[in-house]
Amino acid sequence: MAALSGNAQTGAAVKADAYGLGALEVVPRLWQAGCRDFFVAHWGEAEALADLIPTSSIAVLNGITEQDVAAAMELGAAPVLNTPHQIALWKAANGGRCHVMLDSGINRLGIGPEQLSSRLIEGLNIDILLTHLASADEDVPQNAKQLARFVAMSSDISAKRRSMANSAGIALGSDYHFDLTRPGLALYGGAAHSHLRSSISQVVQPQARILQIRDVAAGEGVGYNATYTAQKETTVATLAIGYADGYFRGFSNSGSVRIDGVECPVLGRVSMDLITVDISAVPSPAEGDWCDINFELGNASRSSGVSQYELLTGLSRRAERLWL
Task: Give the domain CATH number at 130.
Answer: 3.20.20.10
What is the per-residue pLDDT for 197? 87
pLDDT tens profile 203-221? 999 999 999 999 999 999 9
- If one counts the domains in the chain, the total is 2
Q: What is the CATH number of the domain that holds 225?
A: 2.40.37.10
pLDDT in tens, 304-323: 999 999 999 999 999 999 99
C-beta atoms surrounding 272 within 10 Å: 10
15 catalytic residue (yes or no): yes
Looking at the fold, whether 223 and 160 belong to one and the same domain comes out as: no
Residues 150 and 228 in one domain: no
Q: Are residues 28 and 164 in the same domain?
A: yes
pTM for the predicted model, two decimal places: 0.94
Region label for 186, one of left (φ > 0), alpha (ψ between -120 and 50) or beta (otherwise): alpha
Tell me, yes or no, whether 178 and 219 share the same domain: no
Tell whether 294 and 174 lie within a shared domain.
no
Asked if residue 3 belongs to a domain, the reply is no
Tell me the Ramachandran region of residue 134: left when phi exceeds 0, alpha when psi lies from -120 to 50, beta otherwise.
alpha
Q: Measured between alpha carbons, how far is 64 from 257 in angstroms, rounded to an integer?
A: 44
Annotated catalytic, 160?
A: no
pLDDT at 192 over 90: no
User: What does the angle CA 123 – CA 112 – CA 131 come to, to the nearest 5 degrees?
Assistant: 80
**Across all residues in the chain, what is the average pLDDT?**
96
**In this structure, are 91 and 136 located in the same domain?**
yes
Phi, psi of 43 (to 5 degrees): -65, -35
Answer yes or no: is 324 within a domain.
Answer: no
| Range(s) of the domain holding residue 36 | 9-196
Residue 153 belongs to what H/E stretch?
Answer: helix 141-154
81 in the same domain as 43: yes
Per annotation, catalytic residue among 15, 19, 188, 228: 15
In the chain, the amino acid numbered 221 is: G
158 and 220 in a common domain: no
- Measured torsion, CA atoms of residues 150, 151, 153, 159, in degrees rounded to the nearest 10: 100
User: Which pLDDT score, from 0 to 100, does residue 195 have?
Assistant: 87
**CA-based nearest residue to 213, from 245, 259, 167:** 259
Instruction: Report the sign of the C-alpha dihedral through residues 45, 47, 48, 51, in that order.
Output: positive
Q: pLDDT band at 16, cuts 50/70/90? A: very high
Instruction: Give percent of the chain with pLDDT exceeding 70.
Output: 100
Query: pLDDT value at position 194?
Result: 86
Same domain, 216 and 111: no
Asked if 225 and 280 sit in the same domain, the reply is yes
Rounded average pLDDT over 283-294: 96
Within a domain: residue 320? no
Q: What is the DSSP letter of 25?
A: H
Check 145, 224, 228, 232 and give the catalytic one. Answer: 224
pLDDT digits (tens, 9 = 90+) for 85-142: 999 999 999 999 999 999 999 999 999 999 999 999 999 999 999 999 999 999 999 9
